[in-house]
Structure 1
Amino acid sequence: MLNRRVLLAAMGTVLCLTTTGVSFAAKPDTSGKPNIILVMADDQGWGDTGYNGHPFVQTPSLDAMAKDGFVFDRFYAGAPVCSPTRASVMTGRNPNRAKVTNHGRYMRPHEQTIAETLKAAGYVTGIFGKVHLGSGQPDSPCNPSGMGFDEWVIGLNFFDNDPYLSRMGKIEHRQGKGSVILMDDTLDFLKKHKDGDKPIFTVVWFPSPHAPHAEVPDGSSLYKGKPNAAYYREITLLDQQVGRLRRALRDMGMAENTIVWYCSDNGGLVKETSGGREKKGSIYEGGLRVPGIIEWPARKLKGRTAVPVATFDIYPTLLAMAGVELYAPHPLDGMDVSGIISGSVSERSKPMGFWHKLQGGQGTRSDQIQKAIMEKQQAGAPLPHDPKRVRKDVDEFPQFPEETTTGHAAWTDWPWKLHRINGTKFELYNLSDDPMEKTDLSQNPQQTKRVKRMKQELDTWMRSVIRSINGKDYQETK
């Protein structure tokens, strides 16, 4: 049973709405552009933290970050599964536009990423952990180098203990807990560049708490007898690594002018703590609503907002906060929400669109694939996979009819959310009054005009997404 704090928050009650009134237009308190670190969990639900009132999971580092920083009470993943949300972070766009329609799909290298834009602005860039957007082979246009990263050590999908990771294309078999190894690599990168003349952009994407939940924090009996104990043990292990990162930033003298943004890639695995209806894999609130915290000590960000923000807002927001000109050659679905963070804006001005299962997912066994590659690399033999794999989803531009409506889409114009299921079934909810999406108002006579308008807006947006996946955006920017 959730405690009262979680229940109130899940019901939409604003527990605290405070901001500092800071202005990001002003020169930073410390010289130079801020360092930027994006941290993401894999399958952590909104209520799976202490600061959101979970009855027993221990997340002292995230709790401290929430206390010291700014909390998004309604933060949304761009999709209810991993790969698409990661693409939304990279591009500021709905992931379907980049052909990342489900897990295991590669992101087209035609996309403009936040890493490419920051690199062009003088940042040194690195990514560590689970990427799940492409290849780990050195000659693939879909590896992190092709996404704009100078240095990388990655898994293709989730990994656990003793993982096989690709360091700039060379596979290494590492010993230890995957989430700890990930943080080791992250801190090495930060230490290497902290005294350089470039600001640092770092992406830290944890493989936990994704199943099989074999990683454990010190004391493997933690939560013994509790439901989903292995899942929550991995959340505590992840939390410990977030604590390592925050302490290291202070020890290296970097914390003051470093923006750290934490979230999860989709809803959690436990419905009761998802913060909404359903869980991972669903377009209902429980599959999309996730923890979200941002801190930047130089700007004294502090407070909590119930204004909705999503992963596709990260790209334009961080560029605005860092004073870097936004380069967006393709249509963005995200918006700059720095005004929400500063307190100068109290409402979201742009609706949010979600669309899942336009296509099915594709399995990616990271350790199995990378182990086979490592053995071939060590033997000096040709790689074991079809060369087409390194360019998967790159050269293919299947033309979807513009009226395609396969899957489950939703259009959120706060507090209203309209669902479109396989094109024909519609549901309407008022998330402020009905955060668990129990009462469908689509047939309510009082909502006839609203439903008609939102159907038109959603249909227009979905057609735009189809034009993007068909490749029209790239043709227009040649």
Structure 2
Amino acid sequence: MISYPARVVVDVFFFLVCLAVVVPSAPVEAADTPPNVVFVLVDDLGYADVGFNGSQFYETPHIDRLAKQGLVFDYAYMYPTCSPSRAALATGKQSFRTGVYTVPVLEKGSNRENIFSRWTVGEEHTMYSQPLADAGYRSIHIGKWHLVGPYPQAEMAANYPLKKKLGQPSPSDFSWVEYHKSEACRKYYPEGRGYLKNVAGTYRGDPALEVGGYDSETGGYFAPFSNPFLEQKPDDEWLTDRLTDEAIECMGVHKEGPFFINLHYYTVHRPLRARSQSLLEKYLNKPGDPVTGQGTNTGKQKVLEAEYATMIESLDDNIGRIEQFLVENDLRENTLIIFTSDNGQNGRSNNLLRASKGHIYEGGIRVPTFINWPGKINPRRTEVPIMGLDFFPTFMDLAGIDYDGVLDGQSITPLFKADDATLENRPLFWHLASQYKHGTCSVIRKGSYKLIQFLATGKLELYDLSRDPKEEHNLTATQPETAERLLAELVQWRGANDVPLPPNAVVEN
């Protein structure tokens, strides 16, 4: 059984009181109770790594069925790496507000070239789980957290901007655990943010918390798990299965609702491990997909691709388990399933888009995304662009919460029935003030156009994504008026929001 904090004793009374004041807001069709939410965030899953976005190599039948019956977003965006994506999801705020620009240990260069990233999201930034808890939602966080650094005391006491980037201990160094489990650190963990329980969430961005890290035998995916925030169980075998077990158990405990399952799988993040030898052989012997390039490598890369494929199939099996539980317990009709990824694909094959994780190009920021809610969503694909920032206000809308804090996204519930002109025509913005795979930059995407301004040089790149999804043709010379118009809007956005620039920036603010 799941053990919860003492406050769960008042669960029934608290739920009934809150239920009286929580109703879904327009345009969502009214329901007897606020909807349950299963929010599935996969780690490093690329846009084309699922069948519903064209993969012929990876097998995702359960995910594809849910996508077909739901609303698929052709242009769903995150940041290029997990830390800023997860901070934006949790807080609904742009990276310049939280100071989380990338994974700190990945940053390249000096403090002249970077505003070095924070790791820990401060208490001043409300997370969506907090107003949801106040409104009666029973929530659990399962899997990757990555919203606190290994040394939050020193980090939060430091003067900003930092003189050097933040570091982390080796995977087998557990000296940080005592403080992270203390009451003083609770405010940076799920239990201090409105969740009833945290299962497996730590400062780490991957599960390899053991001697050898990525080179260890298990990679953190096979039991026994070395995660200090995941209690060992006798029947543990595979991490993705165990995390799904926790989600199902929580839904069973709180089936009267409303519940919110923050199911943030570690899979398919490195280190890659084959789920089983039989599955590995299956994908080693399966013909590759020449359109995406998936499964067409040779040698070591072919093995890695096959291992990755087994992890995706395992993910799909577990999504099927979640759907089956909801159906068997008469929970399906009033439960949204949201499926997305935290950034683009990481080092695997994708010939459909340019670049990969860490890059501001489509391969680094465009992610597979759908929302499934039977009877409440008009099943289809939409080209209306959305961003991870939009989920916080969407959750508030669904729960009927009048939230008055700063939010940089918009609720996407108007898209549940039909495309919405306001959402379709709004600009989306990114600001990367620290460098990883390329220099610092600001970005605007509006209509079908995407403009990138590199901050240290002022160089502009303009792409028409409707005609050039692989971003092969820079249009700044042939469409200067479009570039100037978008640049003016980008500069205006930076100025209006006091967006900080790195010391070596040569651009306007």
**Given the two structures, how large is their TM-score scaled by the length of structure 1?**
0.76
- How far off is 1:285 after superposition? 0.7
Instruction: Point out where structure 1 has 5 or more consecutive residues left out of the alignment.
Output: 1-21, 362-404, 471-478
Q: Tell me the secondary structure at the aligned position of residue 333 of structure 1.
A: coil
Which residues of 2 match residues 313-332 of structure 1 at below 5 A?
Answer: 313-325=390-402, 327-330=403-406, 332=407
Q: Could you say if the C-alpha distance between residues 24 and 458 of structure 1 is closer, same or farther in structure 2, counting changes exceeding 3 Å?
A: same
Structure 2 residue aligned with 1:14? none
Which of residues 164, 179, 189 in structure 1 aligns to 2:240? Answer: 179
Kept in 2, the 8 Å contact 1:137–1:143? The answer is no
Structure 2 residue aligned with 1:340? 415
Kept in 1, the 8 Å contact 2:433–2:501? The answer is no
Which of residues 445, 454, 471 in structure 2 aligns to 1:421? Answer: 454
Structure 2 residue aligned with 1:253? 330
Kept in 2, the 8 Å contact 1:277–1:436? The answer is yes
State the one-letter code of the partner of 1:434. Answer: D
Q: Following the alignment from structure 1 to structure 2, what is the Cα–Cα distance between the partners of residues 409 and 469?
A: 10
State the one-letter code of the partner of 2:264. Answer: W
Structure 1 residue aligned with 2:490? 458
Which residues of 2 match residues 370-385 of structure 1 at below 5 A?
Answer: none
Instruction: Spell out, residue by residue over 1:367-424, the C-alpha distance to the aligned partner (whole angstroms, 9 max, x if none).
Output: xxxxxxxxxxxxxxxxxxxxxxxxxxxxxxxxxxxxxx97122111121111012341
Q: CA RMSD in A?
A: 2.6
- How far off is 1:455 after superposition? 1.7
Which of residues 131, 136, 160 in structure 2 aligns to 1:117? Answer: 131
Kept in 1, the 8 Å contact 2:93–2:408? The answer is yes
Instruction: Point out where structure 2 has 5 or more consecutive residues left out of the alignment.
Output: 1-24, 105-118, 150-179, 208-220, 286-294, 296-301, 503-509
Structure 1 residue aligned with 2:27? 24
Q: Could you say if the C-alpha distance between residues 289 and 120 of structure 1 is closer, same or farther in structure 2, counting changes exceeding 3 Å?
A: same
Q: Tell me the secondary structure at the aligned position of residue 172 of structure 1.
A: coil
| Greater displacement, 49-58 / 88-97 | 88-97
**Aligned: 1:128 with 2:135:** no
Q: Tell me the secondary structure at the aligned position of residue 340 of structure 1.
A: helix
Q: Could you say if the C-alpha distance between residues 465 and 236 of structure 1 is closer, same or farther in structure 2, counting changes exceeding 3 Å?
A: farther
- How far off is 1:464 after superposition? 5.4
Q: Tell me the secondary structure at the aligned position of residue 33 of structure 2.
A: coil
Q: Following the alignment from structure 2 to structure 1, what is the Cα–Cα distance between the partners of residues 352 and 358?
A: 14
Q: Following the alignment from structure 2 to structure 1, what is the Cα–Cα distance between the partners of residues 43 and 349?
A: 18
Which residues of 2 match residues 5-404 of structure 1 at below 5 A?
Answer: 24-28=27-31, 31-77=32-78, 79-103=79-103, 105-134=119-148, 136-139=180-183, 140=185, 141-156=187-202, 157-159=205-207, 160-162=221-223, 163-167=225-229, 172-173=231-232, 175-195=236-256, 198-216=257-275, 219-225=279-285, 226=295, 227=302, 228-270=305-347, 272-273=349-350, 275-325=352-402, 327-330=403-406, 332-346=407-421, 348-356=424-432, 358=434
Q: Could you say if the C-alpha distance between residues 238 and 33 of structure 1 is closer, same or farther in structure 2, counting changes exceeding 3 Å?
A: same
- How far off is 1:360 after superposition? 6.2
- How far off is 1:118 after superposition? 1.0
Instruction: Spell out, residue by residue over 1:49-93, the C-alpha distance to the aligned partner (whole angstroms, 9 max, x if none).
Output: 11222122110111111122111111111x111121111111222
State the one-letter code of the partner of 1:24. Answer: P
State the one-letter code of the partner of 1:81. Answer: T
State the one-letter code of the partner of 2:414. Answer: G
| Greater displacement, 303-312 / 91-100 | 91-100
| Greater displacement, 214-223 / 234-243 | 214-223
Kept in 2, the 8 Å contact 1:409–1:419? The answer is yes
Q: Tell me the secondary structure at the aligned position of residue 66 of structure 2.
A: helix
Which of residues 386, 407, 411 in structure 1 aligns to 2:440? Answer: 407
State the one-letter code of the partner of 2:418. Answer: G
State the one-letter code of the partner of 2:415. Answer: I
State the one-letter code of the partner of 2:96. Answer: N
Q: Tell me the secondary structure at the aligned position of residue 200 of structure 2.
A: strand
**Given the two structures, how large is their TM-score scaled by the length of structure 2?**
0.72
Q: Could you say if the C-alpha distance between residues 64 and 106 of structure 1 is closer, same or farther in structure 2, counting changes exceeding 3 Å?
A: same
